[in-house]
Every structure is written in structure tokens, then in C-alpha cells.
């Protein structure tokens, strides 16, 4: 096991995740998102195994998110990527589990690809940049927020997972898990919104200094300040946007950030 395999699994997680964002059909979207969560657990287990064997891994990636026009154009290369990644697997209980999960996903993809009715248009990359009756200022505020915050949530998922794999403290481990889970939900919400706007895009790649933390106390304090900034953005968006449902959603996210700050303060106490 090496970092090349970890990188491929990182990319595969993103490919499944962003396929779920791109596709409009709610049943397919939901199922693919579930598989993306399984793929993320594969990453977690693989990272733990690499560390246990004296190795290390990073978050480098080479993938691009190509603009697809239909569901089959999304699913066919995803199937190929899974099969290519499987060529790197060795023999172990972990790899047997991973292959079993992916075999089931491949079976599901084959079922979808066998029915032409599933090949609906994909609007996630259309650049239409419209949302119901949002006025231009609200739309611009929403767009800027989604690009910034989707990167932030992606970053936090990976940073907290990286630190979680390296702590011996059960309290720290549990707090990191809560924060990872919350960021998954936020990234899902923002990714689906970007797809609805037709502006779906990958978050930029993380620099290793982002997640190789040498001063945990400073990292937590900076994280609290970042959450406060995110709260302010949510409040501004909720108050300025001319869509009651969206406004309510961002107030909801704002309130969730309050608890994130509380969780991070617990780490400071630790």
C-alpha cells in the first residue's frame, strides 16, 4: 500500500460524490451519495493501514471534473475509474471489503446503464447561473458563497480526517468525527446547489501545509476564527437574499456553526 493508491481512492471518492451532485434524478443522486460515503470510509481505513505499516499519505490529486451533458456520460467513465483503481489492490481483508463494496456499486451502475430512460440531460455544468426568482445581487452573493464554502468544507473534511488518524485521544477522535460528519453534510448541500445553478466545480487542491499541523492549539484557534467568519457570511446571505427558503437554510447553517465552535473549544480544553 502506498500513496499512489491512496491518491486514486481520494479521487474515486470525489468522482462518486460529484456524480451524485451532477445528476438530477433524486433516487440516483441519493444512492450515489451513499456510495460516496462508503468510498470515504475506504479512504479512512486505507489511511489507517498505511500508517500502521509505517508509511504515510497525502492529499495530492490529478483528477479533473469534466463537463458532462448526460447521465450516461457521467456514469460510464465512473465505472472505468473504479475498474482501473481495483487493479492496484492487493490481497487482504481490507481489500476484499473494498472490492465487495465496489462490485455492488458496479452492479448498480450496470443496471442504470442498461435502461436508456436513465440517460437524462445533466445541467450541472451548463453555466446557466439561475435560481428560480433570485435577483442579480442575491445570485452573485450565493455564487461567491458556494465557491468559498464548498472549498472550506472539503478542506475541513480532509484536515480533520488527517488529524483524527493521528490522535491517541478518544475525546479528540470523537470531536474530529463530529466535525467531519457535519462538513460532509454542508459539502453535500453546497455541491447540490452549485449543480442546480449549473456551476458545479471541484474545490481546489489542498497544500500539504493545510493539513500537516505542527501547532494544534493555533490550528484550533484559527479554525474558530474561520467558523466565525463563515457564520458572518451565512448571516449576511440569509438577510440579503430574496428567497425565504434559502434564507431559512442559511440561518440553519449559521446555527450549526455555533456548535462547531463549541466542539473546537472542547479541543482547546483537551
pLDDT in tens, 117-150: 999 999 999 988 778 778 888 888 899 999 999 9
Of residues 119, 34, 44, 40, the one with CA closest to residue 75? 119
246 pLDDT exceeds 90? no
What mean pLDDT comes out for the span 239-255? 86
128 Cβ neighbours under 8 A, 6+ residues apart: 197, 198
Residue identified by cell 460528519 is 181
What mean pLDDT comes out for the span 151-170? 94
| Per-residue pLDDT tens digits for 146-156 | 999 999 999 99
Would you identify the CATH topology of the domain 1-124?
Answer: Ferritin (1.20.1260)
Q: Quick one: pLDDT band at residue 46, thresholds 50, 70, 90?
A: very high
Average pLDDT of every residue of the chain: 92
Q: What is the dihedral of CA 72, 76, 78, 82, to 10 degrees?
A: 150
118 Cβ neighbours under 8 A, 6+ residues apart: 25, 28, 71, 72, 112
Q: Is the dihedral of CA 64, 70, 74, 77 positive or negative?
A: negative
Predicted confidence at residue 240, as pLDDT, reads 81
1 pLDDT exceeds 70? no
Where are the CATH 1.20.1260.10 domain residues in the chain? 1-124, 126-270
Q: What is the dihedral of CA 226, 227, 228, 230, to 10 degrees?
A: 90
What mean pLDDT comes out for the span 37-52? 96
**Percentage with pLDDT > 90 across the chain:** 67
232 pLDDT exceeds 90? no
Q: Quick one: pLDDT band at residue 254, thresholds 50, 70, 90?
A: confident
Q: Would you state the CATH architecture of domain 126-270? A: Up-down Bundle (1.20)
Which cell numbers hold the place of 180? 467531519
Amino acid at each position: 500500500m502506498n500513496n499512489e493508491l491512496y491518491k486514486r481512492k481520494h479521487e474515486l471518492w470525489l468522482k462518486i460524490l460529484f456524480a451524485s451532485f451532477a445528476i438530477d434524478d433524486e433516487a440516483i443522486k441519493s444512492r450515489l451519495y451513499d456510495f460516496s460515503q462508503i468510498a470515504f470510509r475506504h479512504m479512512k481505513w486505507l489511511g489507517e493501514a498505511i500508517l500502521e505499516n509505517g508509511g504515510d499519505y497525502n492529499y495530492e490529486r490529478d483528477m479533473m471534473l469534466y463537463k458532462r451533458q448526460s447521465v450516461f456520460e457521467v456514469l460510464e467513465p465512473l465505472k472505468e475509474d473504479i475498474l482501473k483503481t481495483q487493479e492496484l489492490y492487493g490481497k487482504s481483508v481490507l481489500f476484499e471489503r473494498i472490492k465487495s463494496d465496489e462490485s455492488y456499486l458496479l452492479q448498480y451502475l450496470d443496471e442504470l446503464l442498461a435502461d436508456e430512460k436513465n440517460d437524462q440531460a445533466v445541467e450541472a455544468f451548463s453555466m446557466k447561473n439561475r435560481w428560480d426568482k433570485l435577483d442579480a445581487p442575491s445570485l452573485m452573493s450565493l455564487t461567491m458563497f458556494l465557491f468559498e464554502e464548498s472549498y472550506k468544507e472539503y478542506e475541513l473534511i480532509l484536515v480533520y480526517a488527517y488529524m483524527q488518524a493521528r490522535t491517541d485521544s478518544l475525546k479528540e477522535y470523537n470531536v474530529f468525527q463530529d466535525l467531519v460528519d457535519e462538513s460532509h453534510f454542508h459539502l453535500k448541500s453546497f455541491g447540490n446547489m452549485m449543480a442546480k445553478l449549473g456551476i458545479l466545480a471541484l474545490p481546489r487542491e489542498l497544500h500539504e501545509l493545510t493539513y500537516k499541523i505542527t501547532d494544534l492549539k493555533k490550528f484550533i484557534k484559527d479554525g474558530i476564527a474561520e467558523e466565525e467568519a463563515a457564520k458572518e457570511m451565512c448571516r449576511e446571505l440569509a438577510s440579503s437574499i430574496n428567497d425565504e427558503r434559502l434564507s431559512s437554510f442559511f440561518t440553519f447553517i449559521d446555527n450549526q456553526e455555533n456548535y462547531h465552535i463549541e466542539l473546537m473549544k472542547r479541543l482547546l480544553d483537551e
